[in-house]
Amino acid sequence: MPPSQKSSSTHYDSGSSRSYSSSSRGRSSGRLTIFDWLIRVPIAVLLFGFMGFYILSGATMDMEKFKSTLSKLPEFPAFVMEQMQKKADAQNAYEATAVQNSYYVKSIDRTCEWNDEFDCYYDPVTDCYFWYNDTTKTHTWQYWYEGISSDYGDYGWMEWDSTEQQWYIEVSDGEWTELPAEYDRSYLWHVE
């Protein structure tokens, strides 16, 4: 059974607590010097250009491969917009059913009932508790799988990252890591 306290973070937000303090190295203004304009800026432009060519050519340095990859770049904004729309659709689908006592999960083709004791949905077949965490900056579904999550005590909530096709698990307060390979993933499912 999940702990009485739900996760207060998501794996998407776990890197946001890093401190990026600025340090001064003898230069007090943000202005570029003549040396910067004549030496550093051209070198940086050349390096970025070379790295861009290298990456876009698929590490082959082949001009035809570079041109082929470059021609596909206009599709990238459409891909981003499609992903944003999918996320918005998932949010809308959840909000439409959030007031109900059951939730149909397409990926397992069954309806899961709301568990008042743990304040989340429950699937008895896979012994999984799940809820939509909309209390954090990044909203996402979180899962508590008995036999995996319970190994982490008061933590152990899991998340599916659809972009990385990877499970994450909370190992301590606000600290998330990829689900260790030792766990069987064959019965794990996620809301689509």
Q: Average pLDDT over the chain, rounded to whole?
A: 82
Q: 21-35, 97-111, 129-143: which has the minimum mean pLDDT?
A: 21-35
45 or 17: whose pLDDT is higher?
45
* CA–CA dist 83, 60 (Å, integer): 29
pLDDT at 85 over 80: yes
Q: What is the pLDDT of residue 96?
A: 63
Closest Cα to residue 176, out of 25, 9, 31? 9
| Full-model pTM | 0.57
| pLDDT tens per residue, range 35-59 | 888 998 999 999 988 888 888 788 8
Closest Cα to residue 8, out of 133, 123, 112? 133
The sign of the dihedral angle between the CA atoms of 141, 144, 148, 153 is positive
Q: Are 111 and 104 in contact (CB under 8 A)?
A: yes
47 or 78: whose pLDDT is higher?
47
Q: What is the pLDDT of residue 165?
A: 92
User: Residue ranges of the alpha helices (H) in the chain?
Assistant: 34-35, 41-56, 63-72, 75-97
* CA–CA dist 111, 125 (Å, integer): 11
pLDDT at 16 over 50: no
* CA–CA dist 190, 13 (Å, integer): 19
Q: What is the pLDDT of residue 101?
A: 85
Q: Tell me the domain boundaries of the chain.
A: 34-73, 77-178
Rounded to the nearest 5°, which phi and psi values hold at 46?
Answer: -65, -45
The burial class, CB within 10 Å (0-12 / 13-18 / 19+), for 31 is exposed
| pLDDT tens per residue, range 129-167 | 999 888 888 888 999 999 999 999 889 999 999 889 999
Q: Are 112 and 105 in contact (CB under 8 A)?
A: yes
Q: Are 190 and 107 in contact (CB under 8 A)?
A: yes
